[in-house]
Amino acid sequence: MTKEVVYDFAIIGGGIVGAATLYKMQMAFPGLNIILIEKEKILADHQTGHNSGVIHSGLYYTPGSLKAKNCVAGRHELVAFAKEHNIAHDVCGKVVAAADESELPFMNKIFDNGVANNTEGIEKINGDQVREIEPFVKAIAGIHVPCTGIIDFRGTTNKLAEIALAKNAASKMVLGEEAKNFETTSELTTITTTKNTYKAKRLIFCGGLQADRLAAKDRAPIKEKVIGFRGDYYELEDHAKHKVKNLIYPVPNPEFPFLGVHFTRMTNGEIECGPNAVFTFKREGYGKTDFSLRDTANALAYGGTWKFFMNNISFGVKEYRRAFSKRLFLKTLQRLIPDLAMDDLRPGRSGVRAMLMNTKGDTKDDFRIEFTDHSIHVLNAPSPAATACLAIGGQITEMAKEHFDL
């Protein structure tokens, strides 16, 4: 009779945070048998594979926060990992450009954040110096951030999983199976997927856009809801690519929880412009008209969603208008690069960001990782989570070591 396999840990979710957690856990405890369960047929198929591919510096985050600490520490780990394993990347630097004087106070604030967060090499520069770095940008001042870079996050995710699974032949990864139910006894949890059942002593949830639903299925207490925001990109046509050398960011609006439309050179040579940020009617919907009755009803039945709408109504209207108007999108881009024209742009891809929203409509929460007697839940890991993935994986590993007596 075949003995039933019992895993020491099951990791639910195969984005870059899930893969980094598998990697960190397996490196720290090579004897543990770990299974990673991902509902899609490939890893990194949602937030990880649809983000802008930027290695963030740590400039924007409140000093002392988990975002600040993990971004800076994780960035160093990520770059070292990319170098060691030949992951496509380039620490090319970026400029944050202030278009007018009204932006200078907040530009100075994020510069001070960067200094406090040990973001190495940053310096304030004037408009002429901005143009020396990015000749087509019109700005009165800026911040040069030489430690920002670009990376292939899909490739990173696959390599993390590959190395981890090679560490222990008894560990396993299953793709194309959605974890639907969790039945926990005093010693084990039975995980029922769309195809199989698995047993594990402990669970780690890295569910991204489904984090709140997975927490509810695991009976972990959570008051907030994940709300999805779609971001649309345009790409520069080949004849216009010379107008952007590396990365160009605006000074973000402090009243809005997104960094604003920016320019990003990708590792494949394409140059993306975006993203905007609009409420999405489907958590994993990447088309402008994608719709899920369940996701929409879930979001609109939540009071926090309506408070967010009311608190950000003018921004929301502008974002929606821009989502369906190439002319308005171009106008936003021209604020930093006036020479851009309509025929310089072609439609690009889209991504959806998971934002954990509290009952007051606030999405500016820090990274949030909580535990129960048998599980750890990554409840909130928006940007810069991809940059910080190895630091987050390390933090989860330390939590598991402490709370589960490893």
**Per-residue pLDDT tens digits for 145-180:** 999 999 999 999 999 999 999 999 999 999 999 999
- Here the tokens at position 298 are 């879930």
Backbone angles phi, psi at 68, to 5 degrees: -65, -50
In-domain check, residue 101: no
177/293 same-domain check: no
389/326 same-domain check: no
**9 residue type, one letter:** F
Instruction: Give dist(CA 130, CA 110) in Å, integer.
Output: 17
pLDDT, tens only, 65-111 = 999 999 999 999 999 999 999 999 999 999 999 999 999 999 999 99
| CB half-sphere exposure, 364, CA atoms < 13 A | 12
In-domain check, residue 115: no
In-domain check, residue 114: no
292/392 same-domain check: no
Number of structural domains, the chain? 2
Q: What's the confidence (pLDDT) of residue 322?
A: 87
353/380 same-domain check: no
Q: What's the confidence (pLDDT) of residue 106?
A: 94
- Here the tokens at position 231 are 């971001």
Asked if residue 384 has a cis previous peptide bond (ω within 30° of 0), the answer is yes
Number of helices (H), then strands (E), belonging to the chain: the values are 12, 20
Its domain, for residue 371, covers 6-48+154-224+365-403
pLDDT, tens only, 323-346 = 889 999 999 999 999 999 999 999
Percent of the chain residues past pLDDT 90, beyond the cut: 90
In-domain check, residue 113: no
DSSP string, 13-47: --SHHHHHHHHHHHHH-TT--EEEEESSSSSS-SH
In this prediction, residue 1 has a pLDDT band, given cuts at 50, 70 and 90, of very low
Q: What's the confidence (pLDDT) of residue 363?
A: 87
Question: What average pLDDT does this structure show over 371-381?
Answer: 96
Question: What average pLDDT does this structure show over 347-367?
Answer: 92
167/33 same-domain check: yes
What CATH number does residue 381 fall under? Answer: 3.50.50.60
182/286 same-domain check: no
288/354 same-domain check: yes
Average pLDDT for the chain: 95
233/346 same-domain check: yes
In-domain check, residue 112: no
236/324 same-domain check: yes
In this prediction, residue 3 has a pLDDT band, given cuts at 50, 70 and 90, of low
Instruction: Give dist(CA 20, CA 26) in Å, integer.
Output: 10
233/315 same-domain check: yes
Question: What average pLDDT does this structure show over 123-132?
Answer: 98
Q: What's the confidence (pLDDT) of residue 259?
A: 74
Q: What's the confidence (pLDDT) of residue 162?
A: 98
In-domain check, residue 63: no
164/195 same-domain check: yes
342/287 same-domain check: yes
In-domain check, residue 173: yes
Question: What average pLDDT does this structure show over 224-228?
Answer: 95
Instruction: Give dist(CA 14, CA 345) in Å, integer.
Output: 33
Q: What's the confidence (pLDDT) of residue 365?
A: 82
DSSP string, 106-168: HHHHHHHHHHHTT-TT-EEEEHHHHHHHSTT---SEEEEETT-EEE-HHHHHHHHHHHHHHH-
In this prediction, residue 198 has a pLDDT band, given cuts at 50, 70 and 90, of very high
**49 residue type, one letter:** G
Question: What average pLDDT does this structure show over 241-251?
Answer: 97
In-domain check, residue 13: yes
Q: At residue 2, does pLDDT exceed 60?
A: no
Question: What average pLDDT does this structure show over 230-234?
Answer: 94
Question: What average pLDDT does this structure show over 46-69?
Answer: 95
Distances, alpha carbon 341 to alpha carbons 96, 183, 272, in Å: 22, 57, 15
